[in-house]
Amino acid sequence: MEVAAPGFVKADFKLKVHNDLLTISSEKKVENEAKEGEQFTKREFSYQSFTRSFTLPEIADGERIEANYENGILRIVIPKKDEAKPKPARMIEIQ
């Protein structure tokens, strides 16, 4: 899964899994302040936030989810449970 989130840093994100629900949230506060001498001349605040939730399928292993944030893209890897992976063919001995 990939989420485009340019302008954030990885510390801005929170990922949580609870009852097969993956929640991705972020809140970023930007404060700009311009000073002139000892008096404030201008002060601006802006907030950027989002929250998205996804229900994980039964075959997803919520315990082994990994995430990486690089170049404005949050990549989330959700592995399958071992029992959901295809099993190789096995030879059965005839007795």
CA 53 to chain centre: 10
Read off the pLDDT of residues 38-58 as tens digits, 9 standing for 90 and up: 666 676 777 778 899 999 999
Residue-number span of the structural domain to which 48 is assigned: 2-84
| pLDDT of amino acid 15 | 94
94 domain-assigned: no
Chain centre distance of CA 35: 37
Give the pLDDT score at 69: 94
Q: Tell me what pLDDT residue 10 has.
A: 87
The string of DSSP codes covering the chain is -EEE-TT--GGGEEEEEETTEEEEEEEEEEEEEEEETTEEEEEEEEEEEEEEEEEPPTTB-GGG-EEEEETTEEEEE-PBPGGGSPPPP------
CATH number of the domain residue 79 falls in: 2.60.40.790
Cβ pair 74, 24 in contact under 8 A:
yes
In a domain, 95, yes or no: no
If you average pLDDT over residues 15-37, what whole number do you get?
Answer: 83
Overall number of domains in the chain: 1
Residue 78 in any domain: the answer is yes
64-93 confidence digits (pLDDT tens): 999 999 999 999 999 988 877 777 888 878
Q: What is the pLDDT of residue 40?
A: 63
48 domain-assigned: yes
| Euclidean distance between CA atoms 75 and 8, whole angstroms | 13
Indicate whether 93 belongs to any domain.
Answer: no
Q: Token pair for residue 4?
A: 């485009």
pLDDT of 76 reads 94
Residue 90 belongs to a domain: no
